[in-house]
Amino acid sequence: MSVLELSGVSKRFGGLRALSEVSLSVSPGEVLGLIGPNGAGKSTLVSCITGVLRIDGGTIRFQDCDIQRLPPHRRARRGIARTFQKVRLADQLTVYENVAAGLASHWFARASGWPSVFRPLSAASVAQAVNRTLERVGLGDVSGAIVKSLPFGQRHFVEIARAIVSEPNLLLLDEPATGLTEPERERLATLVKDIAAQGCAQMLIEHDLELVGRLCNRVTVINQGHHIFTGAPAAAQREPEVVRAYLGMNLLISGGGDDACG
Amino acid sequence: MSKRVLLIAAVAVLAALPLTFGTFWINMVITALIFSLAVFSVNLLTGLTGLLSFGQAGFVGIGAYTLGVLAKQGHPPILAGLYGVLLAMLCGFLLGLPAARLKGHYLAIGTLGFGILIYQLLTNSVDITRGPMGLIGIPTGGLDKQTWYLIMLSVCLTMLAALAYIDRYSALGVVLKMVRHDEIAAQASGINIFAVKLIAFTVSAGLAGLSGALFAAYVRFLTPDLFNEQESFRYMMMAVVGGIGSPLGGIIASLMLTMIPEGLRVLGEDNYRLLVYGTMVLFVLWFLPSGIGGLIERLRK
């Protein structure tokens, strides 16, 4: 059974068809790669799943429930977490505070949870979850640091920590490897595998095709809003339509991207 | 431990201080403390949640006039004050319904419009408020100035402690700051931005209403002019000089900005003193761009 199931999802911006009839599904513990050239509609798709954008056609089912009418915060409370292409953290707050904010989806999940927001941030229930998550993403020693003081790469991990602290069922990673150093990239790879091992479904949007090939069970390729391929990463490289979509772009794709585009 | 001793000593000094004041100054301090609740209400909206309101005087007026009118009809003042706070909260909720969807300049203009609306209502509902003739002799006497001072001091210190707790230590503080900082990220963490803003509007209106009710009970005389948009600007100015998001700075600023214009009367009764006052405010913001609160932060470090 899949956690997330999109069928025939379409989104228009005026005359521009950003997504046309895109279908895909992600299962628990699976890492689905979502790739495509710039402007293919990947970020639009993520916005449609998280509810920032309303779709014009098709259905979005999450854990067997139709969620397309739910506002973003309700989807988050049901267990859809995400990171952003351009990191969105509260810069002046500490790493701990930023990650604790991710627990809001628990605090507000039920009306009875509202009084819990008056608890101190250092309360055992909060501290336990936050500290465990920080250890997990390798930020245990900078818990008290102000986000602004962290190197750029580290901030990606803070965002991932904020997303997974609530133990979501689906994690959408929007270009998490951008700007990471080589060791950080390896840390990210280990983390993604670790999250998958705990049964969380993940969707990885990434330009680094080597990383996608290594981490993803399947990839979905979209181009100009159209779904053109879903299957094993290795098979994607042999698919003529995928090659055509990426043709001439291989110089822009870093790392293993060159071989992937064949 | 020594910090706690210091705190207790400071509170004791503050409590004993007015014994040395004359009536004129103690009046001033009490009024400034009452105003500082309205400044708190601005801080709560703008400082914590990032919503700009130029209509706070409207809520202050609702609280004040509800107490004034009901007390004159013979209701017990405390109950009348409570109704004032509740009515202000209801109005805050109703204003919040459209206003929580507005942003930046639009929100500022929307709240300004609300403030003017309330002012016009107070001025023109002569049957109820007596309009520009003013509401005179509100029967809430019985407390001497010392008691008033102590009440206001404890109310302000309690608010200060509560806001500082929410801001610095509570989970709610993080939620509010997320909403202020990045709405998209806040939503993605399961925060209902609209609900948070609506609650912020309601609570803030309640605080402003409390300020108004206390003002009416203390001064026992009301005119609509005490709640026009200029007053809203004054609260905003006090909050800004105090440092947006710093409740302690807000109290200090409301004390300073209330007392300095009066103290400047030594320069004569002309309006030149207001020129000096305005220049002083400009200089404070010049040298302390994050207000008095920013200075306190810097000294603490």
pTM for the predicted model, two decimal places: 0.83
Of B171, B178, B188, the CB nearest to A72: B188
Please count the structural domains in chain B.
Answer: 1
The ipTM estimated for the assembled molecules is 0.83
Q: Which fold has domain A1-79+168-262?
A: Rossmann fold (3.40.50)
Cβ contacts of A116 on chain B, cutoff 8 Å = 171
Please indicate, yes or no, if residue B254 is contained in any of the structural domains. Answer: no
Within 13 Å of residue B110, how many CA atoms lie on the same side as its CB? 17
Please choose, from the candidates A207, A199, A238, A246, the residue with its C-alpha nearest in 3D space to the C-alpha of residue A63: A199
pLDDT of residue B266: 73
Closest residue in B to A102 (Cα) is B189
Distance CA A258, CA A252 (A): 9
Q: Which tokens hold the place of A109?
A: 């999940």
Q: Can you list the pairs that B248-252 forms with residues at least 24 positions away whose Cβ atoms lie under 8 Å?
A: B248/B160, B248/B164, B248/B293, B248/B296, B249/B291, B249/B292, B249/B293, B249/B294, B249/B295, B249/B296, B250/B36, B250/B39, B250/B40, B250/B42, B250/B43, B250/B293, B251/B33, B251/B36, B251/B39, B251/B156, B251/B160, B252/B292
Q: Is B72 on the interface with A (CB under 8 A)?
A: no
Question: Would you say A87 and A159 are in contact if contact means Cβ atoms under 8 Å apart?
Answer: yes
pLDDT tier, B247 (very low <50, low <70, confident <90, very high otherwise): confident
In this prediction, residues A59-84 reach a mean pLDDT of 91
B124 touches chain A (CB under 8 A): no
Distances (CA, A) of A162 to A51, A95, A102, B301: 18, 9, 5, 29
What is the radius of gyration, based on Cα positions, of chain B? 19
Q: From start to end of A27-169, where are the E strands?
A: 31-35, 57-62, 65-66, 80-82
Q: Which among B258, B240, B230, B255 has a CA at the least distance from the CA of B58?
A: B230
**A71 in Cβ contact with A51 (< 8 Å):** yes
State the residue for tokens 């181009």.
A223
Which pLDDT belongs to residue B151? 84
Chain A, chain B: beta-carbon pairs less than 8 Å apart:
97
Task: Provide the mean pLDDT of chain A.
Answer: 85
- Give B158-183 pLDDT, tens digit per residue: 888 888 888 888 888 889 888 888 88
- pLDDT tens per residue across span A133-181: 999 988 888 888 898 999 888 899 999 999 999 999 999 999 998 888 8
- Among B189, B193, B290, pick the best mutation site for testing chain A contact (most A Cβ within 10 A): B189
* A121 closest CB neighbour out of B171, B184, B193: B171
Neighbours of B300 (CB within 10 A): 6
Confidence grade of residue A257 (pLDDT, cut at 50, 70, 90): very low
Nearest to A86 by CA among A164, A155, A172: A155
Q: Where are the domains of chain A?
A: 1-79+168-262, 91-167
Q: Give me B300's structure tokens.
A: 């603490």
Interval A3-32 mean pLDDT = 89
Taking residue B242's Cβ as centre, other Cβ atoms within 10 Å add up to: 32
- Chain A within 8 Å of B175 (Cβ-Cβ)? yes
Residue B135 corresponds to which tokens in the numbers above?
């509401």
Among chain B residues, the shortest Cα distance to A81 is held by B188
- Residues of A whose CB is below 8 A from B186: 101, 104
Which among A82, A120, A121 has the least Cβ separation from residue B188? Answer: A82
Chain A residues inside the 8 Å CB shell of B172: 117-118
Identify the residue whose tokens are 């962290």.
Answer: A150
* B148 or B140, which is more confident: B148
pLDDT of B259 > 90? The answer is no
Closest residue by Cα to residue A196 from A32, A23, A13: A32
Residue B28's domain spans which residues?
21-228
* Alpha-carbon gap, residue B231 to B129, rounded angstroms: 19
Give how far A117 is from chain B: nearest CA, Å: 5
Evaluated on CA atoms A244, A249, A250, A253, the torsion sign reads negative
Per-residue confidence (pLDDT) for residue B225, from 0 to 100: 85
B-chain CB neighbours of A51 within 8 Å are 187
